[in-house]
Structure 1
Amino acid sequence: MASTPQQWTVQLAQTHAPYPQIFLQRPLPEHSWFSVVVVDVAKFMACVRNGNQLRIPEIQLWSDDKRERLCSHLDPAGGDEPVMPRTSIEEVQIKRWYGLRPPSIHAVVSFTNGRHRSAYMEFAGAKRMPVEVLTDQVDLFVKHCT
């Protein structure tokens, strides 16, 4: 994944016909309390699905118009550079078997913005993508999403 301090490139699957990559800007490059973490898309989206935040339907269930609008928004030839998702993470303890088995720990990712972009990048075959996170959460993202 090639990048500059302000722009990150996300490689898409070769089968993604409209374009092979997406360029994302960092939304808050001047703020030291945010950092960029390059996550494994499958692990990251699994952590998204662990949460109770507003669910995004599978992209195959979106209307063609909605999918095409997002595809157009992310198109590098479109002029505007979209920003990378801004997310947060927490570890949640899940009790099992009424407390008879040790609890399990799940990472839960939630979004400030970018959940539709993330879903589209997963649909388009991205393996890795950058997300902007609070600096004090970098270790949790590395532990669960890389």
Structure 2
Amino acid sequence: MSTLMELPTTSPASSPSSGSEPVWIVPLHDHPPYGHVRLKRVFTTDGTRHQVVLVDARKLIACADRDDTDYVLRPVQEWHGGKLRGIREFLDPSSTRIPQMPYVTITTRRAPGLLGVLRLEHEGVVAFRNGQHRARYMMAAGAVWFPVEVHEREAALLRQYCGASDDARTALRPTSTEASGAPRARP
């Protein structure tokens, strides 16, 4: 069974000491070049008002496809070869550089149909501030869930509309990076 590795809390007080930073290992189930990607937080300074939320990849992309205000990418299968090669190299876990996780914002709007018109049903709308290529590529490569960063005031809403299942959340194991940049599992 594949696991996603993350710190169980995003509190600055619980950050690892000695300069190491948390690393999330995201399994890719349909990606022959490599079987996982590594991601790190976007906001790492003390007192950050951002949280890491584990999301269901399909739910997140469905909410992102509803965004009519920002740049929304075409499906990965329609990307040209150079773009595919570039994102594959960017996410390659053998690189010493660890990419940042996607950074998103979420709002709601009335859902289509009668219940939406009556203001009884709403749907989530996700906008990427960074990492849309990463998110879409990881989902196409077989990632079922992965971490994203969001402002703390939007974290509950993101969990409501895009949150990963309990199965995904129970498979977490914390890791950190050592001085070499390689992930190290914590007891």
Residue equivalent to 2:25: 9
* Aligned match of 1:131: 148
Describe the shift of the 1:100–1:133 C-alpha distance in structure 2 as closer, same or farther (beyond 3 A).
closer
Task: Please tell me the residue identity of whatever aligns with 2:55.
Answer: V
CA displacement at 1:3 relative to structure 2: 2.2
Inter-CA distance 90–76: structure 2 relative to 1 (3 Å threshold): same
Q: Map 1:1-146; keep pairs closer than 5 Å.
A: 1-4=4-7, 6-13=22-29, 15-30=30-45, 31-52=47-68, 53-94=70-111, 96=113, 102-103=118-119, 104-146=121-163
Deviation digits for residues 83-135 of structure 1 (CA, Å, limit 9, x no counterpart)? 001100001124646x9952431100001100011110111010010000000
The percentage of counterpart residues that share the same residue type is 30
Deviation at 1:32, TM superposition (A): 2.4
| Distance change in 2, residues 1:93/1:8 (3 Å) | same
Runs ≥4 residues deviating over 3 A: 94-97
Query: TM-score, length-normalised on structure 1?
Result: 0.91
Number of residue equivalences: 144
Alignment-mate amino acid for residue 36 of structure 1? V
* 1:95/1:102 contact within 8 Å kept: no
- TM-score, with structure 2 as normaliser: 0.72
1:3 alignment partner AA: E
Tell me which protein shows more strand as a share of its residues. Answer: 1
Whether the aligned pair in 1 keeps the contact of 2:116 and 2:122 (CA below 8 Å) is no
Q: Which of 51-60 and 132-141 deviates more?
A: 51-60
The answer (yes or no) to whether the contact 2:28–2:138 under 8 Å persists in 1 is yes
Worse-superposed segment, 22-31 or 132-141: 22-31
Q: Find the aligned partners of 1:83 and 1:100 in 2 and give their Cα distance.
A: 36
Relative distance call for 1:35 and 1:101 in structure 2 (3 A) is closer
Deviation at 1:51, TM superposition (A): 1.3
Counterpart residue identity of residue 44, structure 2: P
Separation (CA, whole Å) in 2 of partners of 1:100 and 1:86: 28
Find the residue that maps to 1:88 and give its secondary structure: strand
Q: Tell me the distance in 1 between the aligned counterparts of 2:80 and 2:116.
A: 45
Higher helix share: 1
Structure 1 spans left out of the alignment, 5+ residues? none
Instruction: Give the CA RMSD over aligned residues.
Output: 1.8
